[in-house]
Amino acid sequence: MSTQAPHLKTANQETGVAGSRGLSQYLVMPVVLGIALLALYVYVSLQELDSIEERSLNAARLTRAVWEHIQLTAVSTLLTLLIAIPLGILLTRPFTRRIRPYIVTVLTVLQAVPTIAILVLLAVAFLFLGFAAAIVGLVLYAIVPVLLNTMVGLEQVDDAVLEAGRGMGMSRTTVLQKIELPLAIPVMLAGIRTALVINVGTAALVTYINAGGLGDIIVAGLSTNRIVVQIVGAALTAILALLIDYIAGLIEDLLRPRGL
Amino acid sequence: MSFLEFLETRSSDMVELGLEHAAVVGLSVLLATIIGVTLGVATYQRARARGMVLAITGAILTIPSFALFILLLGPLGLGWPPTVVALTLYGLMPVVRNTITGLRGVDPAVLEAAKGMGLNRRQRLLRIELPLAWPVIITGVRVTTLVLLGITAIAAIINGPGYGEFIFTGLARVGTPVAVNLVLAGALGVMILAVLFDILFYTVRKLTTSKGIQ
Amino acid sequence: MTSADSHETRQVMIRLEKLTKHYPGQQRNAVDGLDLDINEGEIVVLVGPSGCGKTTTMKMINRIIEPTSGRIILNGEDVTRTDADQLRRRIGYVIQQTGLFPHMTIGENVATVPKLLGWDKSRTDARVDELLNMVNMDPEIFRHRYPKQLSGGQQQRIGVARALGGDPTVLLMDEPFGAIDPITRDRLQNEFLRVQSEVRKTIVFVTHDIDEAIKMGDRIAIFKEGSQLAQYDTPEQILTAPADDFVAEFIGRGASLKRLNLSYVGDIDPRPWPTVSVSTSIAEARETLRNAAESALIVVDEAGRPHSWVSPEELNRAGEGSSLKEIGQTPRAIVEPRATLSDALNELIAARYAVTLVVDDTGKLQGVVDIEQINDSIRSMRASAVTEARASLGGEP
């Protein structure tokens, strides 16, 4: 989580991992996660739980935390995309040619701001707490990588291809729709996946601004000094993150244009 | 108290936390580089091994740092040990990926010439392939450093070193005037370190890359 | 040019015995039971259409490609199973893409093999300078440059110098001039032939260009598709007596013209031409020309170097007081004995009086060459080639 550079995920495609996965490789992650869940269940069952632990680890509470976590991730990612992709397209139009390198530099430096600092700042500076504050914090942070990925994806489209499109009599808008966006899709998909991973990770921290999620379980364990509770919260967070990344990877493979 | 006044009164804390933050990141980056380059060198020629090591290091990076720090709390306790282990694990992926990309990007003609001149496997790796892949590898190390600088702020949850202490202290005093200053100072410190590390990497890259490939 | 009979006395440097390469999953062998002897100090050119196995054959000699079966004998020693890295340090290797190490200077590139061989610094440095000079690259200027600062032709020169670094006995060259523009290529080829006349390496040279093969080769091995050796002979023999239709078609039209590249002006006796010195008076010159069968005079300077052509009209127009120095026209078609007959033919076709002047190294006029002499030379070449072909019919089954 935190400051993942936008191109972290594209590497999987370059090195041919994602594209050439066989069926067996698709099954590895679900099996691993299933075993991890089972191990966690067995571990908890074997513990003598005291009353505090029982209260923290009941099914309803856990389900609610997971559900909140998913909502936080989904809403923040959706908003991130709605803002970042159009902005990315806008910033790669010809009129920004001169200032584009500066934009990219500023965005890269902004990525070094720790996620936790953004969230906490919202709380302490504006006393802005709860679900809405969490969404604002998550979106603010995740916009940067998605924006960078969109820009990089659109910029790397071969100029010759664009010229050929214009030469065939396509308008600028048609070139964008028919050529640029489809060709940039793999990189943008990678950006979306990065946003998901960042948001699912950062959502674990929004408990500090009273916005719920699986972080609630971890913090409950920390504040009551109950290791079992901490482990359950942390393990569920990790499993959820890996699961969401896995599903995003599947969707990425499905949506990627053929021939790329 | 204004933010600048705050920085002035807490300047020794700023420097001390900054040194801690830089030290823990520096140590973890060093470990991640040694392990990551080794993994990259060991796997870059075989597609399966390459795919596996990238998938695993990529998956590690997907685990939220908050969760990983907590999971390491049991076996490694508080403070530096779990922080360094977690940061090193997070740092692997960019280094491994760039090592593999860099080594695979070496011109096959150059390798054939080297082979034809009688350089053995080790000589080709040390004298030709790694020097040529170096600019790509060091870019990966730079990305790793930026990633780790941010994650370190969260390590304060497990009493880890660095500017996270300011941020979480600020959070604990939410509603008091000093809270905002603490959080801003923490964020500012991390950003200053990010810029300093970037300058450092630019210089190191410049100095350690042959003029023939700059 | 090496004449055919000197081959017999030469030592075999590289012997390929039943050399075979089979790639898994392919039906046919890439190279199939090839036998080939390569003599010491010769350039042997492997030529043929793509997929004929010429490159695979060459790369098996330094075992960049490991043979499936068969043997490679280098200077009497079986190297098929010896340490490949050690073997390669004894064999120079030049490839089309040059493969210069971009992160090393030119000097470091050329010093690669000497360093591997453990030479000391002063010997290595001396060797680098010697080789750079040999390929016409001033060491003072180029030693500390990087490959990217060089043109394609310069890079290929360094490729050759680097391959000669450890003073190998054998040099393998894989289309070394293939990626270079035609004019530079021609110059590099000539330069390389000059270098070879100094170093006398045993060279295996792969190309798909028959003209390059004819120019560079002491002997040419023409491969057919499916790695069959169609003909292995001197360029003269191949041009004059192609072994079969495949070879004839591969060398294409204009075999006679190509053959002109193999003979030199020095091989034929230049014909005399009426000549006067610049100090001769106009009247004397008129007299000389009147008694000659030719339609113009060559005027030479005090050192005997061609100064001008003078025609009867020019002599008639000239006043009594004027000198031969002031009239006439500068000769353009001049060749040295090292020029090929092809060069001479090119010159004389465009020249006045249909002859080209031949001068020696000091520029002194030796005589002239005309189209008749070139024609005679072609005829005698053909005749000797036919005799040789007949002789070989009797000798071999």
Residue C162 has what pLDDT?
Answer: 94
Alpha-carbon separation of residue C87 from B44, B122, B165 (angstroms): 27, 17, 63
**DSSP per position, C270-299:** PBP--EEETTS-HHHHHHHHHH-SSS-EEE
Same domain, C286 and C249: no
Co-location of C200 and C78 in the same domain: yes
The structure tokens listed for A166 are 């214009």
Label residue A258 by pLDDT band (50, 70, 90). low
**Does residue C368 share a domain with residue C278?**
yes
- For residue A69, the distance in angstroms to the closest alpha carbon of chain B comes to 12
Contacts of B101 in chain A (CB under 8 A): 11, 14-15
Contacts of C34 (CB under 8 A, 6+ apart): C16, C18, C19, C20, C53, C57, C70, C227, C229
Residue C7: per-residue pLDDT: 47
**Chain mean pLDDT for chain C:** 87
In this structure, are C227 and C285 located in the same domain? no
**What is the three-class DSSP state of B46?**
coil
Has residue C5 got a pLDDT over 60?
no
* C235 shares a domain with C283: no
Give residue for tokens 């870019």. Answer: B139
Chain B residues within 8 A of C62 when measuring between CB atoms? 116
Give the tens place of pLDDT for each residue, C319-335.
Answer: 777 788 888 888 888 88
Q: Could you say which DSSP state residue A2 is in? A: -
Task: Report residue C142 as tokens.
Answer: 């180029």
Q: Where residue A14 falls among pLDDT bands split at 50, 70, 90?
A: very low
Cβ atoms of C230 and C247 closer than 8 Å:
yes
From A104, A106, A2, A113, select the one nearest B191 (Cα to Cα).
A113
d(C-alpha C209, C-alpha C206), whole Å: 9
B112 to C148: CB separation less than 8 angstroms, yes or no: no
Q: Spell A132-163 as b/e; 16+ CB within 10 A means b.
A: ebbbbbbbbbbbbbbbbbbbbbbbebeeeebe
| Domain carrying residue A187 | 22-255
3-class DSSP string for B62-106: HCCHHHHHHHHHHHHCCCHHHHHHHHHHHHHHHHHHHHHHHHHCC
Compute the distance between CA of residue C209 and CA of residue C54 in angstroms, rounded to an integer: 12
Return the pLDDT at A22. Answer: 63
Contact call for B61 and A8, based on CB within 8 A: yes
Q: In angstroms, what is the C-alpha Rg of chain A?
A: 21
- In this structure, the answer to whether residues C61 and C179 fall within a common structural domain is yes
pLDDT of residue A115: 80
What pLDDT sits at residue C314?
85
Q: Do B114 and C99 touch (CB under 8 A)?
A: yes
B128, C101 Cβ separation under 8 angstroms: yes
Check B109 against C95: CB less than 8 A apart: yes
Burial C66-76 (b: 16+ CB within 10 A, else e): ebbebebbbee
Are residues C180 and C273 part of one domain?
Answer: no
pLDDT, tens digit (0-9, with 9 covering 90-100), for C336-384: 887 888 888 888 887 878 888 898 878 888 889 888 888 888 788 777 7
Mean pLDDT of chain A: 79
Best of A56, A110, A116, A237 to substitute, by most chain B Cβ atoms within 10 angstroms, is A116
Convert the pLDDT of each residue in A140-171 to its tens digit.
Answer: 888 888 888 788 777 776 677 777 777 777 77
Kindly list the residues from chain A whose CB atom is less than 8 angstroms away from the CB atom of residue B163: 114
Q: Which residues pair with C221 in a beta bridge?
A: C46, C232
Sheet arrangement for strand C365-370: C334-335, C355-359, C365-370
Q: To probe the interface with B, which of C58, C85, C146 has the most B CB atoms within 10 Å?
A: C85
The answer to whether residues C298 and C306 touch, using CB atoms and an 8 Å cutoff, is: yes
Q: What is the pLDDT of residue C149?
A: 93
B3-47 pLDDT tens trace: 888 888 888 888 999 999 999 999 999 999 999 999 999 999 998
Summarize pLDDT for C19-44 with one digit per residue, the tens: 999 988 888 888 988 999 999 999 99
**CB < 8 Å to A76, chain B:** none
Which pLDDT score is estimated for C264?
83
CATH code for the domain in which residue A115 is found: 1.10.3720.10
Q: Region A243-256: what's the mean pLDDT?
A: 86
Domain membership of residue C126 (yes or no) is: no
Question: Which residue out of C62, C93, C101, C169 would a mutagenesis test of the B interface target, given it has the greatest number of B Cβ atoms within 10 Å?
Answer: C101
Q: What gap in Å lies between CA C307 and CA C331, rounded to an integer? A: 7
pLDDT above 60: residue A104:
yes
- Banded model confidence at residue C389, pLDDT cuts 50, 70, 90: low
A202 vs B55: CB contact, 8 Å cut-off? Answer: no
Residue C291 lies in a domain: yes
DSSP A67-98: HHHHHHHHHHHHHHHHHHHHHHHHHTSGGGTT
Tell whether A91 is covered by a domain.
yes
Domain residues for the domain of C313 are: 266-375
Quick one: pLDDT at residue C355?
Answer: 87
Q: How far apart are CA C278 and CA B170, in angstroms?
A: 106
Amino acid at B40: G
* Closest by CA position to C239, among listed C258, C225, C217: C258
Structure tokens at A44: 């908890």
Task: Point out the residue among B118, B120, B213 whose CB comes nearest to the CB of C103.
Answer: B213
Q: Is the pLDDT of residue A73 over 50?
A: yes
- Tens of pLDDT, residues C52-87: 889 999 999 999 999 999 999 999 899 999 999 999
Over residues C293-318, the mean pLDDT reads 86
Chain C residue with minimum CA distance to B121: C85
Residue C164's pLDDT band, with cuts at 50, 70 and 90, is very high
**A260 within some domain:** no
**In this predicted structure, what is the pLDDT of residue A164?**
76
> CA-CA distance, C119 to C130, in Å (whole number)?
15
C121 min Cα distance to partner chain B (Å): 18
CATH number at residue C219: 3.40.50.300
Total tally of structural domains belonging to chain A: 1
Nearest to A241 among B62, B101, B191 (CB): B62
C297 and C229 housed in the same domain: no
Smallest Cβ–Cβ distance between C103 and the set B111, B113, B132 belongs to B132
pLDDT tier, A3 (very low <50, low <70, confident <90, very high otherwise): very low
Shortest Cα–Cα distance, A145 to chain B (Å): 12
Enumerate the β-bridge partners of residue C78: C73
Q: Which amino acid is at B175?
A: G
Flag whether residue B65 sits within 8 Å of chain A, measured between CB atoms: yes
In a domain, C117, yes or no: no
Whether residue C122 is contained in a domain is answered as no
Q: How confident is the model at residue A4, as a pLDDT?
A: 35
- Candidates B147, B168, B187; nearest CB to A4: B147
- For the cut 70, the answer to whether the pLDDT of residue C2 exceeds it is no
For residue B27, the model assigns a pLDDT of 96
pLDDT at C117: 92
If you average pLDDT over residues A92-100, what whole number do you get?
78
Question: Residue C93's closest chain B neighbor by CA?
Answer: B116
Closest CA to C213 of C64, C43, C59: C43
Q: Is the pLDDT of residue A20 over 70?
A: no
Spans of all domains in chain B: 3-213
- Answer whether residue C394 shows pLDDT above 60: no
C164 located within any domain:
no
d(CA C89, nearest CA chain B) in Å:
5
Q: What share of chain C is helix, strand, coil (3-state, %, to 5)?
A: 40, 20, 35
Asked if residue C330 and residue C286 are part of one domain, the reply reads yes
**Disruptive mutation site among B45, B66, B78 for chain A (greatest number of A CBs within 10 Å):** B66
C97 part of a folded domain: no
Touch test C–A: 3 Cβ pairs or more under 8 Å: no
Residue C328 maps to which CATH number?
3.10.580.10
Is the pLDDT assigned to residue C3 strictly greater than 60? no
Read off the pLDDT of each residue in B147-151 and give the average, rounded to a whole number.
Answer: 88
Sign of the torsion formed by the C-alpha atoms of B108, B112, B113 and B114: positive
- CA dist., res. B24 & res. B83, Å (int): 8
User: Residue A38 carries which side chain, given as an amino acid letter?
Assistant: L
pLDDT for B85-143, tens place per residue? 999 999 999 999 999 999 999 999 999 999 999 999 999 999 999 999 999 999 889 88
As a whole number, mean pLDDT of residues C238-256 equals: 82
Rounded to whole angstroms, the Cα distance separating A155 from A89 reads: 10
For B3-213, the fitting CATH number among 3.30.413.10, 3.40.1080.10, 3.40.630.190, 1.10.3720.10 is 1.10.3720.10
A1 is a domain residue: no
Domain annotation covers residue A183: yes
pLDDT at C256: 67
CA distances from C154 to C40, C158, C184 (A): 28, 6, 10
3-state secondary structure of C14: strand
- The answer on C7 and C79 residing in a single domain is yes
In a domain, A3, yes or no: no
- C175 with C66, same domain: the answer is yes
Q: Kindly tell me the burial class for residue C361, based on how many C-beta atoms sit within 10 Å of its own C-beta (0-12, 13-18, 19 or more).
A: exposed
Asked if B171 reaches chain A (Cβ–Cβ under 8 Å), the answer is: yes
> How many contacts does A have with B, using Cβ atoms within 8 A?
167
Instruction: Please report whether residue A34 resides in a domain.
Output: yes
Which chain B residues contact residue C85 at CB under 8 A?
Answer: 118-120
Inside any domain, residue C134: no
> Do B145 and B29 contact (CB within 8 A), yes or no?
yes
